[in-house]
Amino acid sequence: MFSKLADIAVHYATTTPDKAAVRADGVRWTFADLHDRDRQAVTALRALGVQKGDRIGWLALNHIEYVTLMCACIRIAGYKVPKSADLIDALPRNPSGKILKRDLREPFWVGRERKVN
């Protein structure tokens, strides 16, 4: 249905513009709000010369505006939608609490000779 992550936001901004997209710290943004903020951020980033392939880093406190910046970066980069997503109850961890990423990835490499992309 969607080929890029940015297409998802556009779809919901068009089909359910008044539905809540983001809620944080007593603030509620609808999908239409998010889409408008996203477009403004994309315009601002492009005006600064940001383009596909660039690496963007930011240092900020947790804030609802982070969602806007993330969406704008996704739109500029043109990230594709993952083919699947699995939800799990808990992350596998060793006794000291380190997340065992290898254990998370293992099911995706079953039946393949090499464990690389």
For 111, residues 6+ apart whose C-beta sits below 8 A from its C-beta are: none
Closest CA to 67 of 21, 100, 113, 32: 21
Percent of the chain with pLDDT over 90: 34
> pLDDT digit string (tens) for 33-49?
999 999 999 999 999 99
> pLDDT digit string (tens) for 1-10?
676 767 788 8
> pLDDT digit string (tens) for 63-112?
888 888 888 888 888 766 556 667 788 889 999 999 998 888 888 788 88
